[in-house]
Structure 1
């Protein structure tokens, strides 16, 4: 269940506690709240919610529609005069929704309706299940829920959020231990994070971790859920709590998987939080060890490798004790990484925006060290808010 709060008073219920409406499964903390909600308008909605498939399905459908509207509005300027590459229409024939594009596609490529992307992913995965394809083929088709089939880069921002709700509403009716249902909850949590809905993401990720432990999920799935939860703690400023969890995840991944993508992702998250806590030397030490592994295992242009390089650069130039050589290394690292990020993801991608902003700061820090104090003060005033 994603609905973990009382529908009347919003008190946290957890995953198993509370009282449910006998017809539609809307959840309450007790009989008093249930009666209050019924008298306050629930009785008019109860049959409709049940007909939809119950409270969880009704909530997912509603949140999905809201997220699609937000995504289409956010992309409206970029998609003017374009058509969906799947259905070839500007407006969706059924929902009348507008187009979106939140990946690395450039030019006239990559425009689509969220509904078309979701339906395509749903049909492809259903076909894989029906034909009993192996896990590799199923995984490639499932990836359509979060990755563009044209540029092969992940969606981001509000489009990722809308597709997260689409994935969850598609599979939430399956048994709790069903793998695709677990994956759908994961996609929803990541989508909410991508759109900066951290309150909602925290609730989903806590529910996901509890569910995975309850159903005896594989250890890599549980570690992934812990890592995602830690990143949400960070978004709330709970950096020490996030660091403890990320240190544990990295240690377990290193022991179980060695030089694997799971370990590299855990190392990246751990290092990022170390930088947030201004523990720069620890972050540099970790990344100097893991970046060569990422280059060898993933490649120079893979997103995770690039992120590790710019976190390493931050650990260099943000350190108050950085030497002149440290600052020069940071600028060189960011310049090389920024060129690759722009080539791979395009100028509008959030990774490109982030790293180019960091490059401005690193260059300012270097020039401030190399110039008289008056010019240094001017640079600090210009770039200090980035």
Structure 2
């Protein structure tokens, strides 16, 4: 499903082109690469093992999940010293012997867990919902356990999100009779990879997801969501032209589908503004956000991540515009100070949102002091000039 490249030469195969190993379903661009992989690439010794694991896609997902858990545990090691899992109450997982992670907004002694325990929790909750009607609110709430902490209700981030993304995909890729569930798991994997700054991998996943969703004739709202995620990957990869076209289409689509007072539309306008900001089109950013900024706190809340990002985009445009006045830069500093305090209170100091706003605040203060010094120098120069004659 996601293995879209030849195992030997990495030629892009999409979702349906090329050949597959008849035993384990490893994918190739043609017979030549398949023979080479068997003779020289070690596939002759791996083939039975891959088949036993459930096929190439399952074997790949299991391997990547194990790697992602190891990375997450190592990354969190300093923070988790002396702590225990809030689910199983152990320091080391009884079966996998893995260490602890924490990648949400929990602070103090809360939020420490094994990735395996978080996975089991999410699986059990969703299986209960799926036995009834997993499309209802209860089912949606249980699905959120794949990407949101049950204690602080904030999203997992960075390498922990990536590990849970691989866990979600490896759990549900086998549901060949339920492609909608597969697509949801694929979406979770794409978001996890993006959270871990694996943007090229995330783009590949999201391209495959969009192709799959169109084949399934998914809803307009679902397609807009995947297009928005894909635009995020393109933007992070510097493919700004492609990202901007998608951002514009998504924003236009959300306006028509949901109106300008909807949470999804507010997210779309924020993402569109972010892309324009990357292209240094500051006037368009400010014009776009002036109407949306008063709406966001009422619809989403003052401390919602989208509200913070929206106001941050506007402040960055104020500060960075070549025509900015000293008052504009002062307003940007004041805004970033408020946003940083809010993010620290809601998400904690280690969260990527807080760290990003800290950097924006430092840059804005530096810009303000530089501009203030320039104004002061000009004033002193004017005062030092001798009076003109009659």
Contact 2:104 2:154 in 1 (8 A): yes
Structure 2 partner of 1:19: 19
Q: Which residue of 2 aligns with 1:332?
A: 334
**TM-score between the two structures when normalised by the length of structure 2:** 0.94
Q: What are the equivalent positions in structure 2 for 1:134-153 lying under 5 Å apart?
A: 135-153=136-154
Task: Judge which range, 40-49 or 303-312, deviates more.
Answer: 40-49
**Take 1:306 and 1:199, find their aligned partners in 2: how far apart are those partners?**
26
Counterpart position of 1:384: none
**Superposed CA offset, 1:267-307 (max 9, x none):** 11100011110000101111111111211111111111111
**Equivalent residue number for residue 290 of structure 1:** 292
**Aligned residue in 2 for 1:104:** 105
Q: Which aligned pairs between 1:152-191 and structure 2 lie closer than 5 A?
A: 152-175=153-176, 178-191=179-192
Q: CA separation in 2, counterparts of 1:313 and 1:372?
A: 21
C-alpha contact (below 8 Å) 1:25/1:54 kept by paired residues: yes
Label 1:133 to 1:161 Cα distance change in 2 as closer, same or farther (>3 A): closer
- Tell me if the contact between 2:169 and 2:188 (Cα under 8 Å) persists in the aligned partners: yes
CA distance 1:366–1:148, change in 2 (3 Å): same
The alpha carbon displacement at 1:375 in A equals 9.2
Rounded to whole Å, the distance in 2 between the matches of 1:93 and 1:191 is 26
Q: Output the CA distance in 2 between the equivalents of 1:369 and 1:73.
A: 43
Deviations 1:366-385 (A, max 9, x none): 12111248999xxxxxxxxx
Instruction: State yes or no: 1:5 paired with 2:8.
Output: no
2:312 aligned with 1:310: yes
**What SS class does the counterpart of residue 367 from structure 1 fall into?**
helix
- Map 1:60-209; keep pairs closer than 5 Å: 60-132=61-133, 135-175=136-176, 178-209=179-210
Deviation at 1:180, TM superposition (A): 2.2
Aligned-residue Cα RMSD (Å) equals 1.5
Residue ranges of structure 1 left out of the alignment (5+ in a row): 377-386
- For 2:130 and 2:270, locate their aligned partners in 1 and report how far apart those are by CA, in whole Å: 34
- After the TM superposition, which residues 211-360 of structure 1 pair with which residues of structure 2 at under 5 Å, given as runs? 211-258=212-259, 259-360=261-362
Measured after TM superposition, the shift of residue 136 of structure 1 is 0.7
Partners in 1 of 2:134 and 2:186 — Cα distance?
23
- Consecutive unaligned residues of structure 2, counting only runs of 5 or more, are 379-390
Shift of 1:11: 1.0
Does structure 2 retain, via aligned residues, the 8 Å contact 1:368–1:375?
Answer: no
Find the aligned partners of 2:322 and 2:284 in 1 and give their Cα distance: 14
User: TM-score normalized by structure 1?
Assistant: 0.95
1:49 equivalent to 2:47? Answer no
